[in-house]
Amino acid sequence: MLSGQLPLFEENYFFRTHTSVVGQPDIALTELVANCWDAGACLVEITIPLEEGGLLVVSDNGVGMTEEEFDKRWRTLAYNRLTHQGSGVEFPPGVNRQPRRAYGRNGVGRHAMFCFCNEFDVITTKNGKCVTFRVEESAGTNPFKIDKTSVSPSNSHGTILRGKIVRTLPRPADMLEILSARFMYDPEFVLRVNGETLELLDHTGLILHKNFTYSGDHQGEVYVLNSGDTARTKFQHGVAFWVGKRLVGTPSWNIGQNSMLDGRTKEAKRLTFIVNLDGIHDHVKEDWSGFRTSTLTQSLFEASEQAVNEILRELMAQRVEERTQEVIESKREQVRALTPLARLEVAEFAREVTEAQPFVTSEVLEAAVDALIKLEDSRSGQALIKKLSTMAPDDLEGLNRLLDDWTVRDALTVLDEIGRRIRIVEAIERLSVDPNVDELHTLHPLVTQARWLFGPEYDSPHYLSNVTLRTVLSKLVGKRISKDSIQNPQKRPDLVILMDATISATGIEDVTEEGLVSLDKILLLELKRGASTIGRTEMQQADEYVEEIINSQEIDGTPRVNAFVIGHKVDHVRSSQRRIGERGVVTACTYGQLVRTANKRLFSLRDRVEVCYPNGADSDLVKAISKSVGLFDLPPSD
């Protein structure tokens, strides 16, 4: 910036920098009423016209401002009330009230009239002088312009804001409901909208009422108000104690030494609990800033805390799913990297914690979920296994470097995952030579849980079934589909069941530059029954599948397709691998090749681990794997 030049402001500065305050009528009026509270007012009167062009008036009987105070507070952008006035409220002369905590912090609320008007008057009276200012939107070197229009003597006190509505016209009845709910906690703070007030028992936001007993036969009542949309500050809500229709202390989410609710949650910013009491004036401090310490007040705190907790549990139980979704959403990237089963476990854990501890803070809930995510990630060993899968089978030097960086826990995690994979490979090897083995219920679940056999890029939980793929395949194979092989195809939407084989199509999605989701890679597996041979006919069929998928208009994107036809033997008269255009590859392989590939990819660890399954225990072996890794979501074989 050149020396001597001032910064410039665009038009509509306040709308772009303070959108909620000057963009939403209920928030704007809430800010204006809060300013009246901060000015020590006991009465606020709001007049809302019935049509645009009429005058909106907000007046209070607070302490008012001198000309110097107005000039300092209104001309200073981001005025810091705490620095200049402190957190306490100044009352007019002769007004004896308990100490009040101010809402204001940064001076934004004074601009709320711009939600309704382009310009407005501020008429403020203090120390025997009434001064009127005109505040008008501006641009250039100032976002707003202030002119003093009149000065006159006066014996009253307070402030009036007055302007012609040319923007947003609020409904008086709606504003009365919302504002009353947000400022109902102090019965001596009277709020009128177009001359009407709203009593506690008449408020539509009154959602619950509960009686309780304390210290013998003393009776108390708890009323719960819901203001609807969350307030901008937590100080407008909490638990308020009334004694003889007068507020004791300051509303908060603490009762005695115990916290009822995290003030940052949605509930804390829209709920107000009013504890109504009578006949215990002697137990209130002289300045009404709180209760005296006594056996009765201790009993009062315990009983009212129990009553409030019971109500909160009932209300928050209705939000279990919403809170669960919120915490999962906050950990979206970490959760996305987990396996589907691990994701389910994390979601169930968050739900169970929320149900058991409805008052748990967001930070504690997120920390607990984060710890479980790390545990699940560690338990699956996905990160370490991925490092292994991308290394060459004979890269012993690379393996040694990797082992140097591992902890004992890392080694145990990987060995546990390798052990699981070895059991799967062992099952494939034993069962694939049996001509009576059902590839649907036995071989296919095993192979699809071992996609890493076909390349490290497939070792990802992101490969998911796709209904479009299944539809395209079903049209291709036509009459070869078996009608009786699977009772409920919705359980396995990735499968197409044929008379002599099972086809699985899974893909990984990507987001295009235009923001659209499309298929990026497709893995196609056609598994033949045990002791089967792959010949010319089987390869030609696979070629047709891949070519049709590549050219299909029903599939989003231009995915690459890798197809594997798997059987007991391969007729080597034909090439075992062929390319289909630029995006398709068809490979014939045997179950034996898969087993040998597994041996290589697992660094021959399979040969070093004793397989403790005797001959003839194949069905038990399959059941053990099914139970441990959740392989089979299919009906039992006939």
Is residue 629 scored above 50 in pLDDT?
A: no
Within 8 A by CB and 6+ apart from 14, the residues are 21, 22, 111, 114, 137, 143, 144
**Max avg pLDDT among 66-80, 148-162, 540-554:** 148-162
| Mean pLDDT, range 548-558, rounded to an integer | 81
pLDDT grade, residue 221 (50/70/90)? very high
The alpha carbon of residue 316 and the mean position of all alpha carbons in its chain are separated, in whole angstroms, by: 16
> 492 or 254: which carries more pLDDT confidence?
254
**Max avg pLDDT among 99-108, 293-302, 323-332, 426-435:** 293-302
Domain ranges for the chain: 13-170, 200-317, 320-380, 429-629
> 603 or 376: which carries more pLDDT confidence?
376
pTM confidence score: 0.48
Tokens linked to 91: 């009352």
How far is the C-alpha of 275 from the C-alpha of 220, rounded, in Å? 7
Is residue 203 scored above 60 in pLDDT?
A: yes
Q: Which residue has the tokens 């009253």?
A: 156
How far is the C-alpha of 581 from the C-alpha of 584, rounded, in Å? 6
| Mean pLDDT, range 431-449, rounded to an integer | 70
Is residue 400 scored above 70 in pLDDT?
A: no
pLDDT grade, residue 631 (50/70/90)? very low
Specify the pLDDT at position 312: 84
- Could you tell me if residue 277 is left (phi over 0), alpha (psi between -120 and 50 degrees) or otherwise beta? beta
pLDDT grade, residue 365 (50/70/90)? confident
CB atoms near residue 405 (< 10 Å): 9
Specify the pLDDT at position 366: 80
Q: Give start and end residues of each alpha helix (H) in 284-431.
A: 295-317, 320-330, 332-336, 340-356, 362-380, 382-389, 396-405, 408-431
Angle at CA 221, nearest 5°, toward 219 and 222? 150
Specify the pLDDT at position 615: 40
Is residue 181 scored above 90 in pLDDT?
A: no
Out of 67-76, 98-107, 324-333, least confident range: 98-107
Is residue 518 scored above 50 in pLDDT?
A: yes
What percentage of the chain carries pLDDT values higher than 70?
A: 72
| Mean pLDDT, range 352-373, rounded to an integer | 75
Mean pLDDT, the chain, whole residue set: 76
pLDDT grade, residue 422 (50/70/90)? confident
How far is the C-alpha of 437 from the C-alpha of 469, rounded, in Å? 27
Q: Does domain 200-317 have CATH number 1.10.3470?
A: no
Are the C-beta atoms of residues 496 and 477 closer than 8 Å to each other?
yes
What are φ and ψ of residue 193, in 5° steps? -120, 120
pLDDT grade, residue 126 (50/70/90)? very high
pLDDT in tens, 279-291: 898 998 887 888 9
Which CATH superfamily, name and number, covers 13-170? Histidine kinase-like ATPase, C-terminal domain (3.30.565.10)
| Mean pLDDT, range 57-79, rounded to an integer | 89
| Mean pLDDT, range 403-418, rounded to an integer | 59
Specify the pLDDT at position 637: 35
Specify the pLDDT at position 407: 56
Residue 147's Cβ-count burial label (10 Å; 0-12, 13-18, 19+) is exposed
Is residue 624 scored above 50 in pLDDT?
A: no
